[in-house]
Amino acid sequence: MSVLFIHSHFGPPPACFNAAVEAGLVTIMRESTLDGGMLAAATGIITTTHLDQVWFARYQAETAHMLERGGRLFFNGHILRPFAEGLENYRPMLSKRLADFRLTQVNPHPVFGDLDPADMMTRKGVAGFYGRGHNPLPRGARVVTGLGPLRLPVDWEWELPGGGVIFSHAGNDLWGQAPEGEAGTPDFAMRIARWAAGEWVKVAA
């Protein structure tokens, strides 16, 4: 099976992934039609902020099997039901001044390419859409994007001992955060699909 995009809400899936589907990188399936065997057999998994985490937690063993085979998981949103050992629940920001929403690239990552996270700080002039907190950094993970003066890990990548990798974005679906005024969303989605398919190796810090 190719990378599995878990479509977890009613309505059509995001059109920005059409090119990835046509290229055979991604298979989009509704959450209600999936079972543990499909998750275990996937090359990688992409989830959205709408993921039913109670449902997903039931398949922790199957997700672990996918990761142990070297698969990759791209997680969007707040971790509320940790699905792997070493993960912790989402922590919201304590302060919400404008400076607390500033984004800093702590380490480069191929998903972002030459995009500067600082250009994704606002949508329609409003800050906070990118993230308002963080999923705590697991031991051995590296920060990709920092939030605010403390550089809270709003984006991080974690390479597991078995070879699998988890990318966490603790905010709205990352493909919707491309800088305003740029036609970057389809390209952003393709980069995420390519990462989930294992086309890029870990970038050294």
**For the chain (length 205 residues), average pLDDT per consecutive 10?**
90 92 95 95 96 96 95 97 95 94 94 85 86 97 97 97 94 85 72 90 38
In a domain, 126, yes or no: yes
In a domain, 202, yes or no: no
**151 φψ region: left (φ > 0), alpha (ψ -120 to 50), beta (else):** left
CATH number at residue 160: 3.40.50.880
In a domain, 162, yes or no: yes
Whole-structure pTM value:
0.94
Count of structural domains within the chain: 1
Rounded Cα distance between 15 and 22, Å, is 11
Report the pLDDT value the prediction gives residue 184, as an integer from 0 to 100. 58
In a domain, 204, yes or no: no
By the 8 A CB rule, do 1 and 38 touch? yes
By the 8 A CB rule, do 172 and 130 touch? yes
- Which domain does 143 fall in, by range? 3-196
In a domain, 85, yes or no: yes
By the 8 A CB rule, do 83 and 53 touch? yes
Report the pLDDT value the prediction gives residue 201, as an integer from 0 to 100. 45
In a domain, 190, yes or no: yes
Report the pLDDT value the prediction gives residue 161, as an integer from 0 to 100. 86
